Structure 1
Amino acid sequence: MAERDRLQLVIIIGSVRKGRFGPVVADWLASRAGRRHDFDVDIIDLATAWLPDVMSADRDALRPRAVQDLAPWLGAADAFVVVTPEYNQSFPAALKNAIDWYDEEWHAKPVAFVSYGGASSGLTAVAQLRQVFADVHAVTVRETVSFHNYWSSFGPDGLPLAREECDEAACKMFDRLGWWARALRRARAEEPYRLPGRHD
């Protein structure tokens, strides 16, 4: 595949809690994505993005420096994978904050999810995130990877114990994500995505 045809994939670690498990999941996921010929991979850790949690109601207000610094990384992405735990039947507040700080960076781009949790495997958080990303005009893919009782799902090497099963699930998710990323990149190139009532 030609270099210009490769897709920029951004993996977002959605939890900022001390002792969180997200980086372990994200590192495994990035290693799987790195084996493919169609993705260049970046990891964004919201714990080190330092996005402020207070924003102005004025849409034209100057965005804080941390928000401006992260914007080009999101804007250049062709696709996203959000790594999320489930906290109290939902997803982390820091993740919602990050989504809300941006607008056009999400438009007409595909988003996949890798979740982890207890009995629900984090899938309740994913169900809610699908609604949130739909409202910022992103496209969520059906295929997901989820970890039930995550604390007993990974070995000390940072790899899933059910390695073949998890690798296969990740491959299916990446295949679908890549399809949407290529289709939507072509569509945005042919016709820029604009919201009703907004004009450049």
Structure 2
Amino acid sequence: MADTDHPDAIRTVREVLAYRNRFVDVYDDEVSFPSGTDGRYLRIRHRDEGLGVVILPVHAGTVGLVRTYRYPLGRPQWGLPRGFSHSTDPLVTARTELREELGIADAEFLLLGTMTPDSGLLAADVAVVHASVPSTTAALPLAPDEVTDTRWLPLPTLWHWIATGALDDGMTLAALALAQAHALLPAPGRPPDTPTAPDH
């Protein structure tokens, strides 16, 4: 719900739907800025009733990552599994996405909280879900057109990837920070002597 009484509020003059598909509505609204200047503001709203999710899968000191070709970036990118809502219950969505992207059918889920992945453009909250995975044996993604590779990284290697820019997905970085705030991941230590480089 917009706080239109806030002194810094950008107020909607006219809501303008520019595009719609089964996932999102794209608006190019006419707005009034706090200074009184009129302008336009682009925003994207998810059409699903529930929250999208990003999942932090953890198994025996490792974190599960997926490699996905990100069309807007024009390159592959490593990150945590994530996806649009499948249910009004984010844990149901997390279970579905974990199975589709990492091939994991069994895990213990914990909702850590929510985040706003791009509040300058997206009118959406995303749930962050921790998944304790008992086994990764024979785990294969069910969405090969979306997920091109998977990897379970030891935590020192994970922190090294982040420090060197090899892992730069914003939703992944935010989810890891939230997990650390909940004391579910140890703080980064000394990087490994021979860190594993990602395959791009």
Bin of the TM-score, shorter chain as denominator length: under 0.3
Larger radius of gyration: 2
**Greater strand content:** 2
With the length of structure 2 as denominator, give the TM-score of the two structures: 0.28
